[in-house]
A and B are shown apart, each in its own frame.
Chain A
Amino acid sequence: DVKVTQSSRYLVKRTGEKVFLECVQDMDHENMFWYRQDPGLGLRLIYFSYDVKMKEKGDIPEGYSVSREKKERFSLILESASTNQTSMYLCASSQGQGARSNQPQHFGDGTRLSIL
């Protein structure tokens, strides 16, 4: 069974801090994704990666960056945290077939991040 592990379930940080959210998957998936989940807005894609060192912007990349140095690990970075980045963050992975990928995504438990 696919396991996607996010390093923290809850995190509290201060405005202006640099914040790192870590995600690891154990199924050798090519594709990895970061979403934020907000009530009434569903899940919105922040960034995704289809290979090591490859990254692409999603729908709401502003204020975020990502890093994928190893296939199994995908990190989300908040360069200078702001209160409007308080949210639930979900990491996911899926098998990759390049641009034609259509395999289901497997999600982590999520990190509830509060920015004070």
Chain B
Amino acid sequence: AQRVTQPEKLLSVFKGAPVELKCNYSYSGSPELFWYVQYSRQRLQLLLRHISRESIKGFTADLNKGETSFHLKKPFAQEEDSAMYYCAVTTSYGKLTFGQGTILTVHP
């Protein structure tokens, strides 16, 4: 069965520091991976997906099939990046399996 693990429940960094949110997955097929973000009092929204290989709000994520990882990175964190981040893998019919989530806090 598919599984997504985000080992850090909480992550704190200072503004301008690099940030990396870890995500590991197990899935038998060809995975489609996503990062979703939920800012305070806002709805959950797509941040990026691996297939598009885009950089959104300065964030990037590379799919490493050998390590089965999809870590989210940003070289210089901003206070407005403070949010809950979820890694997810899609299976059949577009169903998503989510990780437990990581709360990122960026201090001024």
Contact = CB atoms under 8 A, between A and B. Distances in A.
Q: Indicate whether A and B interact.
A: yes
B58 to A, nearest CB: 20
Contact of A105 (B6, B92, B94, B101): B94
A58 B94 contact: no
A21 to B, nearest CB: 15
Q: Give the interface size bracket for B toward A.
A: 20 to 34
B86 interface: yes
A108 B45 CA distance: 9
* Size range of the chain A interface in the assembly: 20 to 34
Contact of A101 (B43, B44, B94, B101): B94
Interface in A53-70: 56, 58
A25 B97 CA distance: 21
Interface in B16-59: 32, 34, 43-46, 49, 51
Interface in A82-116: 90, 94-96, 98-110
Interface string A21-62: 000000000010101000011111100101000001010000
Given A31-B94, A33-B95, A58-B95, A42 B49 contact: no
Contacts, number: 61
Contact of B96 (A40, A96, A105): A105
B47 to A, nearest CB: 10
Contacts of A94: 94
Interface of B: 4, 6, 9, 32, 34, 43-46, 49, 51, 86, 90, 92-101
Interface of A: 31, 33, 35, 40-45, 48, 50, 56, 58, 90, 94-96, 98-110
